[in-house]
Chain A
Amino acid sequence: GAGVSQSPSNKVTEKGKDVELRCDPISGHTALYWYRQSLGQGLEFLIYFQGNSAPDKSGLPSDRFSAERTGGSVSTLTIQRTQQEDSAVYLCASSLPKLAGGPPETQYFGPGTRLLVL
């Protein structure tokens, strides 16, 4: 594919609603990452998928956040019962698999989804 795509580009929701954010990684990239970037802040790691391995969920801020990756390609990040502090840009990245002992592969980022919780 041309690059990592994310949808929607922007999402405005009311507090308490659930939202789903979608990420289409680059074809052939088995690693997929979700990050969150609050206004004026750096990127905060959320979750990492690598092939068929169990995902690394250590960055998810609460149990309201979950993500899945179907068929090893498209990923969906779900936020349940959204709160105002969830407002941020949610970025997805993909990469080739990292080999043990080698450097992390270059991550290619999508344009992000800007989430605003009112």
Chain B
Amino acid sequence: DAKTTQPTSMDCAEGRAANLPCNHSTISGNEYVYWYRQIHSQGPQYIIHGLKNNETNEMASLIITEDRKSSTLILPHATLRDTAVYYCIVSLDRGSTLGRLYFGRGTQLTVWP
């Protein structure tokens, strides 16, 4: 049960911002939103995570709506190397020490020159 909904695929021109949406309408108050990506033939790579506030790091920005039912991952200046499957994950944290993550199908982002 991935608890998230993402578009199957998206395209983006190199140098443009890539905005990847994710719906998580059943998210509960203590659950975090995580983003990982998987470049072809590699293991997944952590990008960013957040709880309520918007977050930014050297890779991306995460915008979470006020009701927390959806979020958007923003890659400000997409490059060809950003072509990958992007997974939006809601951590099934309910105060436990269980750190497992549920990966859905993700969004295949293709950046074209």
Residues of A within 8 A of B (CB): 4, 31, 33, 35, 41-45, 48, 50, 53, 56, 59, 91, 93, 95, 97-112
Contact = CB atoms under 8 A, between A and B. Distances in A.
Contacts of A35: 103
A59 B34 CA distance: 20
Contacts of B102: 45
A25 B69 CA distance: 34
Determine the main DSSP class of A at the interface with B: loop
B100 A45 contact: yes
A42 B99 contact: no
14 contacts: A42-B87, A43-B44, A44-B103, A53-B97, A56-B98, A56-B100, A59-B100, A103-B51, A103-B91, A104-B99, A104-B100, A107-B46, A107-B101, A109-B43
A44 B105 CA distance: 10
A100 B98 CA distance: 8
Chain B interface main SS type: loop
Interface in B66-113: 87, 91, 93, 95-106
Contact of A109 (B32, B34, B44, B51): B44
B99 A111 contact: no
Given A45-B101, A50-B99, A95-B99, A104 B106 contact: no
B43 A98 contact: no
Given A42-B106, A103-B51, A110 B101 contact: no
Contacts of B36: 107
